[in-house]
Structure formats: structure tokens, C-alpha cells
Amino acid sequence: MATAEHHKAHHGSNALGGTHVKQYENLKTLLKNAKSTNGQDLYAHLQEVFKKLILHYPDQALDKLEEVSFLVKHNGSGYKINDYLVLEERKEYDQLSASQKQYLEKLVTFFRKPPAENEEEEGAGASDEPPAATGNVSDLMNDSKIFEWAGIGFGEVESYRILKSLKKLALDTGAGNIRFFGKIHGTQSDYYIAEGQEGTEDEGEKPEDFEARGTGVNKFVYWVTNNVFDKWIKLPDLLPKDIRAARQVKVLFTGNLDRLIYTNPYFFGQEKHYLRAQIARIYHSTNVVPASLYKVSEDPKEIEDATPEGDETEVRIPSTHDMAQSKSWAHYSQSILNAGRITHMQPPVPADAKDGEDEEYFMKKLEESDPTEKRLKLISQDSPVNVAGNAKHPAWIVKLMGDKNVYQHQTNPKKTVNYGVVVVRSLQWPGSFTFYSQGRYLSIYVGNGLKYETQSYYPVHPPMILDDPGNEWIEQPEPTPLFEEVVVQQEENPDGGNAEQEEY
């Protein structure tokens, strides 16, 4: 019985398939019989149209359908399809092979093993100096999975290339704590930015208000490159004058570090100085941390961990749900003063200072005129951002993404775990994101490097034109040589005397 039913079903499917084949053949014959005046049939025309759409315009097939159909139909009779559509993108074998070889030569430098103890690096002379120590490099491959919750992604291949390039940078420079700061878009090329710590300072004289490397706005060193296969270029140490100038201008980056910046007011520097200033402004404005993990020390200008070393009290790691609100986040870095520094310099005491007006007095006056923000200030206390007109919006958006459920910890039944990701987005500096996931927080910046403002251009107007003098100033005629001689004689003989006067 089962065999009979199976046989019947099998023949039924064959019959159905045969019907479809017959319908297809009938339609194919119908299309082939529909011919134009030049003998081209509709079936061949549709084949050619769909071939070009699928191979060259898969994402624009519907938009390009009429155009491709027209050009295919009239190709060779007054129209050349290659003049209107980009169809030839194939490369010759030699050209493709050369580009692949060039790519692999750059890629292999990321996987080169360090020379052994008794070996010298190829092309290098003998040297007694030990190799540079390798510092920590953040795992960008793991971090990129968290970045994707904010819509930031470079792809696995690009992320891996960036990670290997950062490790090579650590080997070449010996810098420590290197991380991928982010990417700033340029009009010609983009900047990949690496952040790290390096002890040596740039040579040359520094102004008095310069903050030494490792402190203030020069706490970190930054390297940039337009291509992760190219060499990383270290940006110069930041000067306070560059910070002050960067706050007055708004210029898009081009990707050329040596470009001179022409703007109003004039920026006395190159794009690399402007880029370094903008990086510092972004970092000190958007470097936020979980507020419960830190506390202000006895010195109100310093921060320490919530539990000092040696204290057996365990710090409670905030849950993901706890961090999904703005009051749980605080600024970690000090704000940059109007002077372009983190701390005030001791002002000089003028010679005509009164009694009691010592260094402490003038320092207090300076701090009152340019106050510093308190440490660990909550982001919920930041000034709102002017969106349009009188409309304002909080400066930060905090949102929990992904799985919002709470689960029991696998090894500790008393603990819970959440696999969601908290995304903290800055509206004052678009492109700045901070993330929190399972007790770990990290940040990245991907944007054009500019602060959000309702106005995009702040020109400095020329000084006011003074009015012409009034009646109190009497204009005098320009003296001639003869008149000057007469005046001199009159001054020598005021009573007239025998002095001769000339008439003119």
C-alpha cells in the first residue's frame, strides 16, 4: 500500500514538473518570436539586460532597468553602452597580480618575527642596544564587537589590520598602553589615531606655560596615519596657544598634516597642530567612567579608586542596568581651562602690589576668573546642548542595547549577569561613544573632529573705525619753502626790526 502511494506521489510530482517545463518552453518560444525590426528577439534582449544588471548593478537593478534596456536595444546604432555605463571593471592578470603582491608585501610586515638573540635584523648593523620593550595593546578585535552596538564597525579584516598595525607601533616605539583612539574623517583621506604613553619629549624650547609630557593636556602621546600599512606619525606635543586658537576656529580636516590652515582668525600652525588640539579637547570632554568606581581624594583636584589598596573591602561592580542612566557616569579627566592648560600657572606679582597682595592672593584671583570644574562631575550636570533656536537637549544619551534580561551567574549563585551593552553617546562631540559591558568600559571616537554648535562660523570682525576729529582740531595748510623762511625770520625778530619780509 505504501509502495503504491509512493509511486502515485512520485508520478504526480513528475506530472506537475512536466507542466511547469511545458509552460516555460511555451513562454520561451513566445519571447523568441517577439522580434524587433533589426531581428533581435525579446528573449535574448532580456537575457542581456538581466546579465548586465546582476553583474554590474545588483544594488540598483530597478533604478537602472529602463536605462540598461534602452542602451542594450540601441547599442551600436548611435549609442555605445560603455559610454554611459561602467561595465568594464576587470583587471588584467599582470595588473591584478602586481597589486596583490604589493598588498601581501605590506601585510607580511605585521607578522615578521623579532630576531633571535644571536641574529641581527636584515639590513641593520650591529648594535648593543636592547630591543624596545613592548607595551600593552588593547584587543581591538574583541572591542569591535562591542562597538557594533553603536553602529561603529570597520569589518573583521580591517579591525585585524588595525590591531596588527598597533602592535607593530608598540614594537617600533616601545610605547606603553597603546589603544585605538578612533578615526577622524577628512575631505581627502582619513586619520587613524593611536593613543599611548611615551617618556621622551620632543626636542626644542618650550614656552613657559607648556605642560610636560605625561601631565595635563600632554598626558598621552598620539600617532596618526592615513593607512594602517603606512608608518605611524607622532603628533607634536600640545601647546596652550594651539588650544586657545582651536577654540576660535572651525575647520574640516583634509588628511594632510603639513597643510597650512587659512581661517579667520588666523591659525598660526599646520593641520597637525590643529588635529592635536582637537584630540585633546575631545578626550578631556568625553572621557567618562562609572561614578561608583572612583572617589575624590583628600586633594579635591585628585581622584583615586573607590577602595584604596590594602583595604579588604570588595568594590561592588555596577550592573549593566545600573549604568543605563546618566547619573551613573562621571567625567574622569580634568577640564581644559581658558588658558589652554589643566592647571593654573603661578601669576607674577606686580611691582606696585599693595600689602597683602602676595602670590596666593593673585592665584586666588586667577582661579576666580577661570575656575576649574570639580572632579568626578556627573554627566547629568553638564550644560544642555542648543539644538535649534531655544530648544535644548541633554548633552548625553545613555541607552541599554541588546539583551536586557538578568540571568543567574554560572559559578556564583549569589550574583547575576546581563549580556547587554550600555552605549553612552555625546551630543556635544558627535562621534564620541563610551560603552559598558559586564563590568568593563571602553570608548572610541569616529567623527569629523568638530564640536557641535548651532553656528558653524565665528568670524572675528575688524576693529571699530574711529570717527573723524570734530571742530576742536583746526586743519592747517601745508607750508611752502618760502613761507617756512618767513616764519623763521619772524621768530628771530618778533618786533619787526630790520628783517626783510617777502611777499608772495
What sign has the CA pseudo-torsion 469, 474, 480, 486? negative
pLDDT of residue 501: 45
Dist. CA 296–CA 41, nearest whole Å: 82
What is the DSSP code (8-state) at residue 153?
-
Dist. CA 370–CA 358, nearest whole Å: 19
Count of other CB atoms within 10 angstroms of residue 239: 22
Count of other CB atoms within 10 angstroms of residue 158: 14
What sign has the CA pseudo-torsion 191, 195, 200, 201? positive
C-alpha cell at 459: 568670524
| Contact of 194 with 222, CB cutoff 8 Å | yes
pLDDT of residue 183: 97
Cis peptide before 265 (omega within 30 of 0): yes
Name residue, grid cell 546604432.
77
C-alpha cell at 104: 601581501
Q: What percent of the chain has pLDDT over 70?
A: 81
Find residue 437's DSSP bridge partners: 440
- pLDDT tens digits in sequence order for the chain, 504 residues long: 444 445 444 444 455 456 877 888 888 888 888 888 878 889 999 998 998 888 788 888 888 898 888 888 887 666 777 777 766 555 567 777 888 888 888 888 888 666 555 555 444 444 455 554 556 889 999 999 999 999 999 999 999 999 999 999 998 888 889 999 999 999 999 999 999 998 776 667 888 889 988 889 999 999 999 999 999 999 999 999 999 999 989 999 999 999 999 888 888 899 999 999 999 999 999 999 999 999 888 887 888 887 756 555 667 789 999 999 999 999 999 999 999 999 888 887 777 777 777 778 888 888 888 888 899 999 999 999 988 778 899 999 999 999 889 888 888 888 888 999 999 999 999 999 999 998 899 999 999 999 998 877 767 777 888 887 777 777 777 767 666 666 666 666 655 554 444 443
* Triad 196, 283, 294: Cα angle to 5°: 90
CA dist list (Å): 375 to 134, 156, 370, 434? 33, 38, 16, 19
The phi and psi torsions of 196 (rounded to 5 degrees) equal -165, -175
Dist. CA 198–CA 458, nearest whole Å: 36
| Contact of 453 with 445, CB cutoff 8 Å | no
| Contact of 432 with 426, CB cutoff 8 Å | yes
| Contact of 502 with 482, CB cutoff 8 Å | yes
Amino acid letter at 436? Y
Dist. CA 121–CA 236, nearest whole Å: 29
pLDDT of residue 503: 41
pLDDT of residue 126: 44
pLDDT of residue 228: 94
CA dist list (Å): 405 to 328, 418, 423, 435? 20, 6, 16, 18
What is the DSSP code (8-state) at residue 125?
-
pLDDT of residue 90: 59
| Residues present in the chain in total | 504
pTM of this prediction?
0.71
pLDDT of residue 397: 96
Dist. CA 180–CA 443, nearest whole Å: 9
pLDDT tens string 142-187: 999 999 999 999 999 999 999 999 999 998 888 889 999 999 999 9
The phi and psi torsions of 231 (rounded to 5 degrees) equal -75, 140
CA dist list (Å): 161 to 127, 165, 235, 283, 442? 30, 6, 22, 24, 20
pLDDT tens string 406-453: 888 888 888 888 999 999 999 999 999 999 998 899 999 999 999 998
